[in-house]
Amino acid sequence: MSWRGQKDTNPTVDKIENVIGRSCTVHGDFAADGAFRVDGTIEGSVESKASVVVGESGAVKGNIRAVDVLVAGKIHGNVACTGHLDIMSTGIIEGDIDAKSLRVETGGVFAGTSRMGGKSPEQKAQKGQKDPKDQKDKGAAPELSPQFSAAR
């Protein structure tokens, strides 16, 4: 049921085609067109053209790239998604994130830096666009008044 009549904000997860079971430990990279569910451990990167779900018992020691990512387990690596990133109350991400939108439930942990809503510098470079933050400001920095510079 929704809170105060709002629509449920949980992301729609694509039909899971690939499952790494709880007792499975994999060393290597994974790539697929379909959605992943990780309940075991992956030591390597995961790339999907659909969703990736890291279950409560799941752990990924590597980068994840997908459309939508739902984290209830642990990720030690960077996460890049073109859609929504959802960190559940049991989820932990230790790494940088790049997502169109982000939701962190109470208890969820994120330790890193985030970039949201825009295109990454790599995507802009591919299209020949420049990031306005990368351009130097040609104006001089304002001088501090004497009362503020004395406080330094």
Phi, psi of 46 (to 5 degrees): -125, 125
CA dist 83 and 117 (Å) reads 9
Q: What is the pLDDT of residues 89-145, one digit of tens each?
A: 999 999 999 999 999 999 999 999 999 886 655 555 555 555 554 544 444 444 544
Q: What is the pTM of this model?
A: 0.70
Coil, strand, or helix at residue 132?
helix
Domains of the chain, by residue range, sit at 3-128
The pair of structure tokens assigned to 106 is 């109470």
pLDDT category at 17 given cuts 50, 70, 90 is confident
Residues 6+ apart with CB under 8 A from 41: 20, 24, 25, 26, 58, 59, 60, 61
Q: What is the pLDDT of residues 22-53, one digit of tens each?
A: 999 999 998 999 998 999 999 999 999 999 99
CA dist 63 and 67 (Å) reads 14
CA dist 14 and 76 (Å) reads 23
